[in-house]
């Protein structure tokens, strides 16, 4: 019998499911301290937690521990690196609370539109201020959903009964998939320009932190409402604060930098505040509990590790190739326009890398979508691609080409309903360093994808490199490395330069206009 410790208030379905299987001895104690329980149960095989902190000390106190399961999506409370060093797999249950969060969004919209919170307080105080609480209807409004993964899609479905127009932004979402879900896929700026309600459902990372800033908030319609049930860091609170009053904006909020009792800086601009209740439903708790149990059973009985979030690179694979796959896909994304809609991903894994294709696909998908965690598994990647309506094809490789251990990533994005753009990037590892060897028809680059790279394609002629260099110098930006090949026709040239500092959009636009660029992009690695 394998001992499973559940030191939290988790729905009994987890315990019941594991007991019914017959291979587990379940100990559930929601009142005792986790440290105490760990020392009392050193033979624990699997630990199922919710928000409890699983520290290195906790892990070390259970030498038989092999699996930690977070009954929920976020796992920042678990020391995943120490777990890995001890051979402990950490799993999560993403999507278990998706419907709960979607319904919370609708609840916030209705509560705000009809002044439910202040009207309740007023009436309980013996007042009759009916004239002060004139509301508005959601029906007929335009709702923007930023991030159209599981939660965003369910939010759209729950709102469909209100006869609203739904605009969705997600760079990984195909037009066809959006239409199937009753939404129109648009650019991020259009969401903020056209919508009466904007609901945020994106992760917080280096790409999205502070993304909802003055440039987008300034585009919001007067009287529009922003709903944040995602992550606190994606909203620049100071920028919202500066424009809230003049534009009559509303903010409905359920997320904070820390989930704890304290004064919240957002309090002066939030019209409704909840204590991170998104996943706090009986049904979400049941889903997370059941998923935890069934994932553990699948892990033990069938070796299913789709939701292991701390797996190291497979034995026999140089970690640098994992980073290479990520860098190549990230380059494709940058050249394609960063946030263009994905239609098709194609891969080729040459040499010994062919047997690691499943693992490397995960790195590719995570580079192309901010909403997919690169620590998940191959099955999760395929499921995510299907959910977003993106096709995937892994090509048979021709060993006679002599590419050695290399990777090719091709990404096809939609320009509009009738046009598509295909970006192809190949790379390898040389002397321990990642190298991009080809971008589209521009071959033999041998460019290291680190730092910041600026890419220009232009009609070949003398003096262009000098113009680019002068423009960067005028901006105080040094060039650290450069490649400048021609395409096979000799008509076009590519200039790819690694710069000593980031290059902002204004500088890129200036250079592109000066050299009459056919293409200009900046990729930050």
Q: Has residue 517 been placed in a domain? A: no
Say which residue, 374 or 153, is predicted with more confidence. Answer: 153
Please indicate, yes or no, whether the overall pTM of this predicted structure exceeds 0.95.
no
Average pLDDT over residues 54-78: 92
Last residue of a domain, one of 381, 414, 447: 414
Considering the domain architecture, whether residues 45 and 124 belong to the same structural domain is answered as no
Considering the domain architecture, whether residues 46 and 136 belong to the same structural domain is answered as no
Q: So what's the pLDDT on residue 364?
A: 95
Q: So what's the pLDDT on residue 380?
A: 83
**Cα gap 295→277, rounded to integer Å:** 25
Considering the domain architecture, whether residues 110 and 62 belong to the same structural domain is answered as no
Q: Has residue 402 been placed in a domain? A: yes
Q: Has residue 226 been placed in a domain? A: yes
Q: Has residue 368 been placed in a domain? A: yes
Considering the domain architecture, whether residues 171 and 191 belong to the same structural domain is answered as yes
Cβ distance 79 to 56 under 8 Å?
Answer: yes
Considering the domain architecture, whether residues 77 and 127 belong to the same structural domain is answered as no
Q: Has residue 459 been placed in a domain? A: no
Considering the domain architecture, whether residues 172 and 259 belong to the same structural domain is answered as yes
Q: So what's the pLDDT on residue 65?
A: 97
Q: So what's the pLDDT on residue 281?
A: 92
Average pLDDT over residues 91-96: 87
Say which residue, 460 or 315, is predicted with more confidence. Answer: 460
With 70 as the cut, is the pLDDT of residue 340 above it?
no
Q: So what's the pLDDT on residue 314?
A: 76
User: Rounded to whole angstroms, what are the CA distances from 340 to 207, 407, 472?
Assistant: 15, 22, 27
Domain of residue 322, CATH code: 3.30.2320
Cβ distance 144 to 195 under 8 Å?
Answer: yes
Q: Has residue 77 been placed in a domain? A: yes
Average pLDDT over residues 513-522: 93
User: Rounded to whole angstroms, what are the CA distances from 99 to 22, 151, 156, 223, 292?
Assistant: 31, 7, 11, 27, 17
Domain boundaries, position 346: 315-414
With 90 as the cut, is the pLDDT of residue 28 above it?
yes
Smallest CA-to-CA distance from 149 within 222, 87, 208, 235 is with 208
Percent of the chain with pLDDT over 70: 98
Q: What is the DSSP letter of 270?
A: -
Binned at pLDDT 50, 70 and 90, residue 418 comes out as low
With 90 as the cut, is the pLDDT of residue 413 above it?
no
Last residue of a domain, one of 380, 414, 448: 414
pLDDT in tens, 174-211: 888 888 889 999 999 999 999 999 999 988 877 789 99
Smallest CA-to-CA distance from 328 within 487, 479, 434, 218 is with 434
Question: Which of 34-48, 118-132, 337-351 shows the lowest per-residue confidence on average (mean pLDDT)?
Answer: 337-351
Binned at pLDDT 50, 70 and 90, residue 490 comes out as confident
**Cα gap 251→245, rounded to integer Å:** 11
User: Rounded to whole angstroms, what are the CA distances from 44 to 26, 40, 159?
Assistant: 9, 9, 44
Q: Has residue 423 been placed in a domain? A: no
Q: How many structural domains are present in the chain?
A: 3
Percent of the chain with pLDDT over 90: 74
Considering the domain architecture, whether residues 112 and 216 belong to the same structural domain is answered as yes
Q: So what's the pLDDT on residue 423?
A: 93
CA dihedral of 36, 41, 45, 49, whole degrees rounded to 10: -30
Average pLDDT over residues 300-310: 84
Considering the domain architecture, whether residues 263 and 236 belong to the same structural domain is answered as yes
Beta-carbon contacts of residue 72 (< 8 Å; ≥ 6 apart): 50, 51, 92, 93, 96, 97, 279, 288
With 80 as the cut, is the pLDDT of residue 315 above it?
no
Last residue of a domain, one of 374, 394, 414: 414
Considering the domain architecture, whether residues 219 and 353 belong to the same structural domain is answered as no
Considering the domain architecture, whether residues 185 and 218 belong to the same structural domain is answered as yes
Which of 65-69, 82-86, 313-317, 335-339 is most confident?
65-69
Average pLDDT over residues 359-383: 86
Considering the domain architecture, whether residues 233 and 268 belong to the same structural domain is answered as yes
Q: Has residue 445 been placed in a domain? A: no
pLDDT in tens, 108-162: 999 999 999 999 999 999 999 999 999 999 999 999 999 998 899 999 999 999 9
- What is the pLDDT of the chain when averaged over all its residues? 91
Q: So what's the pLDDT on residue 339?
A: 59
**Cα gap 398→70, rounded to integer Å:** 43
Average pLDDT over residues 61-72: 95
CA 146 to chain centre: 12
Considering the domain architecture, whether residues 139 and 207 belong to the same structural domain is answered as yes
Domain of residue 199, CATH code: 3.40.50.720
């Amino acid at each position: 019998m394998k001992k499973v410790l559940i030191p939290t208030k988790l729905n009994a379905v987890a315990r019941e499911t594991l007991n019914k299987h017959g291979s587990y001895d379940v100990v559930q104690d929601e009142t005792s301290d986790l440290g105490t329980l760990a020392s009392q149960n050193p033979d624990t095989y699997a630990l199922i937690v919710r928000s409890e902190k699983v520290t290195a000390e906790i892990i070390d106190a259970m030498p038989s521990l092999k699996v930690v399961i977070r009954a929920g999506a976020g796992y920042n409370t678990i020391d995943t690196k120490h777990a890995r060093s001890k051979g402990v797999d950490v799993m999560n249950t993403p999507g278990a609370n998706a419907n709960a969060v979607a319904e919370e969004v609708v609840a916030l919209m209705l509560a705000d539109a009809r002044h439910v919170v202040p009207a309740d307080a007023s009436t309980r105080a013996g007042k009759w201020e009916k004239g002060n609480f004139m509301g508005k209807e959601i029906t007929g409004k335009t709702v923007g959903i930023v991030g159209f993964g599981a939660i965003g899609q369910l939010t759209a479905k729950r709102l469909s009964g209100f006869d609203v127009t739904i605009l969705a932004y997600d760079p990984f979402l195909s037009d066809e998939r959006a239409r199937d879900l009753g939404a129109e896929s648009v650019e991020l700026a259009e969401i903020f320009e056209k919508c009466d309600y904007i609901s945020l459902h994106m992760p917080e990372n280096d790409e999205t932190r502070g993304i909802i800033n003055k440039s987008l908030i300034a585009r919001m319609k007067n009287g529009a409402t922003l709903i944040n049930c995602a992550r606190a860091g994606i909203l620049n609170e100071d920028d919202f604060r500066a424009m809230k009053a003049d534009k009559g904006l509303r903010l409905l909020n359920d997320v904070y930098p820390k989930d704890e009792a304290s004064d919240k800086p957002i309090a002066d601009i939030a019209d409704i505040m909840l204590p991170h209740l998104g996943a706090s439903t009986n049904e979400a708790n049941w889903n997370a509990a059941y998923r935890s149990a069934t994932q553990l059973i699948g892990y033990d009985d069938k070796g299913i590790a789709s939701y292991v979030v701390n797996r190291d690179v497979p034995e026999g694979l140089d970690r640098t190739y994992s980073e290479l796959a990520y860098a190549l896909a990230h380059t494709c994304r940058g050249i394609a326009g960063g946030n263009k809609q994905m239609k098709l991903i194609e891969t080729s894994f040459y040499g010994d890398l062919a047997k690691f294709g499943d693992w490397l696909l995960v790195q590719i998908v995570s580079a192309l979508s901010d909403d997919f965690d690169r620590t998940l598994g191959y099955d999760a990647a395929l499921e995510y691609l299907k959910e977003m309506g993106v096709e995937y094809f892994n090509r048979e490789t021709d060993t006679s080409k002599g590419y050695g251990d290399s990777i090719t990533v091709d990404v096809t994005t939609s320009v509009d309903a009738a046009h598509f753009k295909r970006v192809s990037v190949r790379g390898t590892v040389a002397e321990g360093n990642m190298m991009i060897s080809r971008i589209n028809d521009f071959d033999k680059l041998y460019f290291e994808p680190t730092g910041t790279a600026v890419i220009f394609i232009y009609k070949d002629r003398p003096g262009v490199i000098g113009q680019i260099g002068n423009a960067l110098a005028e901006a105080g930006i040094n060039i650290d490395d450069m490649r400048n090949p021609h395409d096979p026709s000799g008509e076009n040239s590519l200039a790819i330069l690694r710069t000593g500092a980031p290059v902002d959009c204004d500088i890129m636009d200036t250079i592109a206009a000066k050299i009459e660029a056919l293409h200009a992009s900046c990729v930050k690695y």
